[in-house]
Structure 1
Amino acid sequence: MNSNLPGQVLTRHSSHDARGHDTGMAIQFYNVFEYPIVRDQLIANTVLVALSTASIGLRFMSRKIRQSKFWWDDAFIVISMLHTYGMLAMQYHYARVGMRHHVTELPAVNTILIFKMLIVYQIVYYNAMVTAKFSYLFFYLRIFVTPGFRMAARVCMGCAGAYWLGSMLQVFLICQPFAKNWNAALPGHCASMNVAFSTIGAFNLVTDLLIMALPVHHIWKLQMSTGTKVALYGIFGVGLFISAITIIRIHVLTTVDFTDLSYSMIWAAFWSVTEPALAITNACVPMMRPVFKAAFPGIFSSAKNAYSSQTGAQSGASGSAFKRMRDTESEMPLTHLVPTKSGSRGVEYEASLNDRSQDEHVPRSVIGESER
């Protein structure tokens, strides 16, 4: 079958049908670079995954330079990276077993394998995305210690957990019986996969927007120059690009033809690797300053001097309600502000880094100390 297709090689001489019976059919493998579009997508995603790997390396190098302790944000980003490796490997395997070939051109055993891989692919993708979200949120808990913010971050964690749970339920409940996922001839029913994927994707987008919006108000209250605030907004705002990728992926999922999955899945497979790879890189960007400072000391020392001059003048002002704090664990000098009771009609703010009673689970090294 398909003996004239280029790049095809028979490598196995037995297989099984959807019910597990030996059919004697062979899984046929194809040249992954047979189609230029498949080749280009594989190369692009390989580069993106390599960049995300490098970003994690710079993240841990920064931790070493600052002598920072590793925390949950670091653990979750590594877990997300491992799942992204798995997704890239499956994208290559999809190309090997016939991605971009029409289903009528493939052996039945290849088609069954593609649908079975789709189940694993979804699980790995959802794990990659939710662990990246948790990494973002635990990083927020490193640098923001106000009670309201920490509560909001935990609410977002709950939303991310709900996203993961809903995704897992969708994977295992969309078809009854479960084997109907890869064998449409079985009695039973399947809900619309296009609708299910799009709905889960929309919830993914909402959680991303919530996570990105979380620090906006708190950054504005930080005691630093407007330029530094704009830079921080830029760092956290890069996530908008990830949201654009999510929107594209949602649209692509609505166009997948599950009656010809091997041919129509190509863009869904591409964006499903691109999204977590970029999310990982974006999650590591705020931690890279110590590395860049070590590599380009002139640029970053001048920025630090400007910041120190401004905050030093403010902290020395008579009657000022602000105190500059040094967060020894974060990659940015931050002043955390918490509303306090005031005898006047106005609202005073005070630095809260030394208020460790807010959350006893925050690592001691993350809290920082005040300057005397």
Structure 2
Amino acid sequence: VFSWICSLLRLYTRFVILHTPGWDDIFIILTMLSTATGSIVLCICSFGLGESIYKMTLPEIEAFMEVLYIANATYPLSATLIKLALLFQYLRVFNTKSRYRVFCKCMIAITVTWGMIFIALRWFPCYPVAAYWNFSIKGARCWGFGSRDPLPIMRVFVGQAISTAVLDLIVFAIPVPLCFKSDTPRKTRLCLLGLFVLGLLAILCAILRTVYVVTQTTAHTFQFDPGWYDPTTAGLACLEVHLAAVCAALPVFWPVIATTWGRIFVTTEVSVTRESGRFQLKSNRDVELDSTSSHRNLTLPDQFQESQSLEGWEPFVGDETTGLGENETVVEAPAVAKRSGKVRGPLGYR
């Protein structure tokens, strides 16, 4: 949910506020659709996840394997799309003749090749494809993720996980050299390092998936049981893609939120410099008001240095018959941004 919120904020910033959509935004939209498909399919599966297939009936196993096929098919697609979104986002940052831009284009070609290979292995694990979940089809040929032998599945799975971690590390490390440039602001450096750390968490998910599969495969009790082993690997895979999506979204919408956030907490500080008046009450007693003067020297940013001076009479004029009197007020109201939201007057903060 958090990655979806970040992605929607990114798209709103690009399409509505900045009016500068690009290919990276298209890949973000496709990533959202792909991850949503996999998540919905897993959620509607009312049985199988976390349960050994050896405790299910044959119809239940086939129904579960069909759902698992759709969910697993979305992972390499989502992983490829989010990498492309990050790389195309880098192309918008680096100069046309920059060597980083050339490197990004090379990584785009490598990522597309990697994606096509593992998407094909996930989408076409058997011939015919229905043999992946329909065990009654005779003469079917299965390979890779569709194999009934756990060892070939482990080899392909480990190859996918390791290559994913390596690609993620390279993609997330591309903007890191900007941190070591002398003209890079300190705040920008901290933001880049923060995003890199978040990317390392996504890489950690890929490493944990690899360790989990290798550990289970080397155990003597390991056997073909996707219902029992897949929930852990599927959860780590989803977390990996969603963390990468957050990394792709934060640099786009966060500066806009940070700028707008300061405007939300803007108040007006009122400094009363002179206030005098004479009122005649109906009891024929004269009451004279005279306030002390106050003055404050404020040093404000240029965008907040706006001073207003109001001088005038109250909308009533009194005389001896009505019992109403005169009131004159001179107010200086510079618009300032204050964190506390309080206004300081002659009597203190209120």
TM-score by length of 1: 0.61
Identify if the C-alpha distance between structure 1 residues 54 and 179 changes in structure 2 by more than 3 Å, giving closer, same or farther: closer
Match of 1:291 in 2: 257
Q: Give matches, 1:1-372, under 5 Å.
A: 50-63=1-14, 66-94=17-45, 96-145=46-95, 146-171=97-122, 174-175=125-126, 178-183=129-134, 186-187=138-139, 188=141, 190-191=143-144, 192-221=152-181, 223-254=183-214, 255=216, 259-287=224-252, 288-297=254-263
Q: Which runs of 5+ in 1 are unaligned?
A: 1-49, 300-304, 306-372
Q: Kindly indicate whether the alpha-carbon contact (under 8 Å) linking 2:176 and 2:192 is maintained by their aligned counterparts in 1.
A: no
Give the Å deviation of 1:189: 5.4
Matched residues in 2 for 1:124 and 1:64: separation? 26
Matched residues in 1 for 2:199 and 2:155: separation? 25
Match of 1:331 in 2: none
Across the aligned residues of Structure 1 and Structure 2, the Cα RMSD in angstroms comes to 2.6
Match of 1:321 in 2: none
Identify if the C-alpha distance between structure 1 residues 177 and 158 changes in structure 2 by more than 3 Å, giving closer, same or farther: same
Give the Å deviation of 1:116: 2.5
More strand by share: 2
Please say which of residues 277-286 and 223-232 is displaced more in the overlay: 223-232
More helix by share: 1
Matched residues in 1 for 2:23 and 2:67: separation? 30
Matched residues in 2 for 1:178 and 1:225: separation? 54
Task: After the TM superposition, list the runs of 4 or more consecutive aligned residues in structure 1 that deviate by more than 6 angstroms.
Answer: none
Give the Å deviation of 1:206: 1.2
2:248 maps to amino acid? A
Identify if the C-alpha distance between structure 1 residues 182 and 63 changes in structure 2 by more than 3 Å, giving closer, same or farther: closer
Matched residues in 2 for 1:172 and 1:77: separation? 21
Give the Å deviation of 1:58: 1.9
Q: Kindly indicate whether the alpha-carbon contact (under 8 Å) linking 2:41 and 2:71 is maintained by their aligned counterparts in 1.
A: yes
Matched residues in 2 for 1:193 and 1:98: separation? 19
Matched residues in 2 for 1:234 and 1:70: separation? 25
Aligned residues: 250
2:246 maps to amino acid? T
Give the Å deviation of 1:210: 1.1
Matched residues in 2 for 1:70 and 1:177: separation? 40
Matched residues in 1 for 2:264 and 2:183: separation? 23
Matched residues in 1 for 2:234 and 2:74: separation? 12
Matched residues in 1 for 2:130 and 2:13: separation? 47
Identify if the C-alpha distance between structure 1 residues 166 and 279 changes in structure 2 by more than 3 Å, giving closer, same or farther: same
Please say which of residues 68-77 and 168-177 is displaced more in the overlay: 168-177
Matched residues in 2 for 1:236 and 1:278: separation? 11
SS in 1 for 2:92: helix
Q: Which runs of 5+ in 2 are unaligned?
A: 145-151, 266-300, 302-350
Identify if the C-alpha distance between structure 1 residues 80 and 115 changes in structure 2 by more than 3 Å, giving closer, same or farther: same
Give the Å deviation of 1:293: 1.9
Higher relative contact order (CA 8 A, sep 6+): 1
